Amino acid sequence: MKVKNFGIFRLILSVFIIGSFATGKTFSETNNLNSLFLEINGKKEGVIEIHLNFENAPKASFRLADLANRGLYNGVTFHRVIDGFMAQTGDVQFGNISNYDPTSVGRGGSQFPDLVAEFSNIPFVRGTVGMARSQNPDSANSQFFIMFEEAAHLNGKYTVVGQVVSGIEVLMNIKRGNISTGLMYQPDYISRAWTAEN
């Protein structure tokens, strides 16, 4: 009986995989996780849509989608924003606007383990989303950054987890921080985050 059921399971799985290839859809698209939406509370309020890079960075893409769908990015600030460079957010441990502490934010992650790096040859240009990390390449967790401009020196050194596909004008109006450190004291924040399935 177990063998028979396992055979049926393999048949169903094969049909699913073949069907996905036949329609040209990836696993992530089939599950409607390919777009991450960030509703921004700030100078220019609106929604940024990010196409997640499941093809080249499946672990990091799933992590962002999972945290968003758990509601853990709701209220999280853009704690480090450098004009002409990038806006960093995603510290679910220390970065919520309700108890914002500029001396601690940027040091936290989530309750989940750090991620192994998923480097690729995708360049960092305006709108590219990268996973923030420490000196250890395998230390990315929940924090990510979105590029204001091209930054070739980051290529191949940080996981590219997505690309902004709409709302670039909202991104470009996120409040900037200290001119040298990018630190924020009254930051803009993500009022709500979700994927296409929610």
Q: Give domain limits for the chain.
A: 1-29, 31-195
* CATH hierarchy code of domain 31-195: 2.40.100.10
Q: What are the contacts of 100-107 at 24+ separation with CB within 8 A?
A: 100/187, 102/183, 102/184, 102/185, 105/77, 105/79, 106/79, 106/80, 106/143
Encode pLDDT of 102-150 as tens digits.
889 999 999 999 999 999 999 999 999 999 999 999 999 999 999 999 9
* 197 has a pLDDT exceeding 80: no
Q: What is the pLDDT of residue 196?
A: 85
Is pLDDT at 17 greater than 80 in this prediction? no
Q: How far is CA 143 from the centre of its chain?
A: 8
Q: How many angstroms separate the CA atoms of 118 and 59, rounded?
A: 8
